A and B are shown apart, each in its own frame.
Chain A
Amino acid sequence: MTTGVLTHMFMFEKPLGMVDTLPNLYEVKKKTRNEMTNEIEGWGFEFIETPTLEYYETVGVQSAILDQQLFKLLDQQGHTLVLRPDMTAPIARVAASKLFNNLYPQRLAYSANVFRAQQHEGGRPAEFEQVGVELIGDGTSSADAEVIALMVSVLKKAGLNNFKIAIGHIGYANALFKEVLGNQERADVLRRFLYEKNYVGYREHVKNLPLSSIDKERLFTLLTLRGGIEKVNEAKELVSSKEALNSLEEISQIWSALEAYQVTDYLKLDLNIVSHMSYYTGVLFEVYADHVGFPIGNGGRYDHLFEKFNRAAPATGFGLHLDRLIEALNVTEEATLQCVIYSQERRTEAISYATELRQSNKRVVMQDITGIKDVDAYTKKFEEVSYFIGSRKEEL
């Protein structure tokens, strides 16, 4: 809980939502991250890094993360800065700059920490690592399919097998609302209910609208458009506008491309997902895994973000939440360490022994015997311990 009261800090305390990563978790993260980034590189995406701090007026405003979730600070000139709340907006800033000279498509990737202040209670980090990709300058459904197929491949390489991807299209619900309701304001009310996941409120609201029972039924049916690709046919019957039919056509194309990648087993169609990320313009998706209460990743197409950085270009991508993925994997990893305990007269011998082990990629601790209080307790955590003490080498 946040309090406005300035209280005395205990020396062990950290700001709300900030966590330390201790050795065991660090090992798991490193291993998982390596599996993921290797796979991403294997698909020809190139990794980049961007600064942790950005201007509020550029990246902060365009990031689509709620304003109250931004960490803000002032630089010495008085500009408002933000700790980057996501990686998509910074990458758009870089990719829209002259650096890439319009050489599109670009395949870029990142593995970086992002920052979002938390209003609720604990259990949610305010700083967390995201691994993701952006495919910039390609508006085809092949690009969307490539990004989703890569994400599946990355998750499998990380060791996750039981997961589902809900895939929808921001344009379908919008077009259906426009067809049935006629004006934007009335459509916004319904979209708000979907965004809040409030199906009860949605149904109540529709019930009270001055519409024919057929039109009401069309709006009710939207809530049931979840399942396999066959739901697209049901969805088609509800609409007649070009915009709505185009969005369904796009989904069908992506789906059949994903059949070629042989990953459709992981997919679920869901035509009423509405993301908190307001910059999505087309297909969008969320990834779920067993034993983790929150989505482990999401993504989609965002064709208008680049305009904000003065260079229009279509783009699509995904971001995975590394800590949540690790929670879903439920693995532990311990570094295997060896220890060389030496006395000062045999230091040279000990160093050359340790150097040899290190050259064959072993992790070796060198410890002066006089620096340890309790040898038995100290040596417990090592897989192997060698002693260079007294007149000859002993191995235990």
Chain B
Amino acid sequence: MSQQLTIAMPKGRIFEEAADMLRKAGYQLPPEFDESRKLILDVPNENIRFILAKPMDVVTYVEHGVADVGIAGKDVMLEEDRDVYEVLDLKISECYLAVAGLPDTKISTVAPKIATKYPKVASSYFREQGEQVEIIKLNGSIELAPLIGLAERIVDIVSTGRTLRENGLVELEHICHITSRLIVNPVSYRMKDEPIDELVERLSKVIGG
């Protein structure tokens, strides 16, 4: 019998997309998951267990080894800096990290304030630009910050740019491209190398073709 694989995934759209990819890769998953309340979904015929988590937490589960494998956005990987293998770019949920703000505003030269959900990414980005900034951490609705004068700029993920436009903000700088990645716990990568190598190989065929 093959070893059980525990896969941590964000709830919602990414889970749907990833489950689709697994089906295309030949994994026999049920046509629909009842993921309304459940946090753990078992697929006994494939010996797979899914753990549904907050996107930011997937890397934590995988690093501690309670999940062998996970699907995490590159934005989370950059922010959390966890000791896990990043083995595949799944090329789903594409977006990018950007700096945005109100049009035609001069940024304060003394201590510009930046609001973001990604304090680490933002601070290292501005450091590399040779700018010293003050980071204000928010947990959502980042677009509010420049509108009400909490910060002069924001660092956030942008997919279509609609939210920015609707709030009268403009994109100022492109930081980096983001997609979802397949990540692996370093111990599982050795102790369960067969099912994991197979998963990686089958998924890379789906991505390639």
Q: Which residues of A contact B (CB under 8 A)?
A: 121, 123, 162, 164, 166, 196-201, 204, 226, 268, 270, 286, 288-290, 292-295
Determine whether the beta carbon of A123 is less than 8 Å from that of B187: no
Main secondary structure of the interface of A (DSSP, over half): mixed
Partner of B190, one of A121, A166, A197: A166
B185 CB-CB contact with A under 8 Å: yes
**Contact partner, A164, options B63, B181, B190, Cβ 8 Å:** B190
Say yes or no: A295-B85 contact (C-beta < 8 A), given A123-B64, A200-B181, A226-B193: no
What are 20 A-B residue pairs whose CB atoms fall within 8 Å in the complex?
A123-B64, A162-B191, A166-B190, A197-B85, A197-B186, A199-B86, A199-B87, A199-B88, A200-B88, A201-B86, A204-B89, A226-B193, A270-B190, A286-B186, A289-B191, A290-B191, A292-B187, A294-B186, A295-B186, A295-B187
Known pairs A164-B191, A197-B83, A226-B193; A293 contacts B63 (CB<8 A): yes
| Least CB separation from B80: chain A residue | A120
**Shortest Cβ gap from A274 to chain B (Å):** 12
A200-B181, A226-B193, A268-B193 known; A293+B85 contact, CB < 8 A: no
A residues in contact with B190, CB < 8 Å: 164, 166, 268, 270, 286, 288
Q: How large is the interface on B (under 10, 10 to 19, 20 to 34, 35 or more residues)?
A: 10 to 19
CB A173 to nearest CB in B, in angstroms, measures: 16
Chain B binding site: helix, strand, loop or mixed by DSSP?
Answer: mixed
CB nearest to A196 among chain B residues? B86
Least CB distance, B108 to chain A, in whole angstroms: 25
Within 153-205 of B, Cβ neighbours of A (below 8 Å) are at: 181, 185-187, 190-191, 193
Give which listed residue, B60, B65, B85, B193, contacts A294 with CB less than 8 A: B65
Contact of B84 among A197, A204, A226 (CB under 8 A): A197
Is A293 a contact of B65 with CB atoms below 8 Å?
yes
Cβ-defined contact, A288 with B193, below 8 A: no
In the bound complex, what is the Cα–Cα distance between A226 and B88 (angstroms)? 17
Q: Which residue of A lies closest to B187 (CB)?
A: A288
Other contacts beyond A166-B190, A200-B181: 5, CB < 8 A: A199-B88, A200-B86, A200-B89, A270-B190, A294-B187
**A199–B191 contact, CB under 8 A?**
no
CA distance A293 to B66 in the complex (A): 7
Q: Which residues of B contact A (CB under 8 A)?
A: 60, 63-66, 83-89, 181, 185-187, 190-191, 193
Q: Are A197 and B191 in contact (CB under 8 A)?
A: no
Shortest CB distance A240–B (Å): 28
Could you say which residues of chain B place their CB within 8 Å of the CB of A289? 187, 191
Q: How far is the CA of A295 from the CA of B64 in the complex (A)?
A: 11
Q: Which residues of B contact A204 (CB under 8 A)?
A: 89
Cα-based distance from A286 to B64 in the complex (angstroms): 17
Question: Which residues on A sit within 8 Å (CB–CB) of B191?
Answer: 162, 164, 288-290
> Which chain B positions have C-beta within 8 A of A292?
65, 187
B193 neighbours in A (Cβ, 8 Å): 226, 268
Residues of B within 8 A of A199 (CB): 85-88
Once bound together, how far apart are the Cα atoms of A289 and B192, in whole Å? Answer: 10
CA of A272 to CA of B125 in the docked complex: distance in angstroms?
A: 29
- A residues less than 8 Å from B64 (CB atoms): 123, 293
Please, how many angstroms separate the alpha-carbon atoms of A164 and B192 in the complex?
10
Q: How far is the CB of A289 from chain B (nearest CB, A)?
A: 7
B84 to chain A, nearest CB (A): 7
Q: How far is the CA of A204 from the CA of B86 in the complex (A)?
A: 12
Tell me, in angstroms, the Cα distance from A322 to B63 when the chains sit together.
Answer: 20
State the Cβ distance, B18 to closest chain A Cβ, in Å: 16
Question: In the complex, which residues of chain B have a beta carbon less than 8 angstroms from the beta carbon of A288?
Answer: 186-187, 190-191
A293 B87 Cβ-Cβ under 8 A: no
**Residue with the greatest number of chain A CB neighbours at <10 A, chosen from B63, B88, B89, B191:** B191
Smallest Cβ-Cβ distance to A293: which chain B residue? B65
Q: List 7 A-B pairs, minimum CB-CB distance, nearest first.
A: A293-B65, A197-B85, A288-B187, A293-B64, A288-B190, A200-B89, A198-B86
Find the B residue at minimum CB distance from A197: B85
A293 to B190, CA, bound (A): 11
Return the chain A residue nearest B192 by Cβ: A290
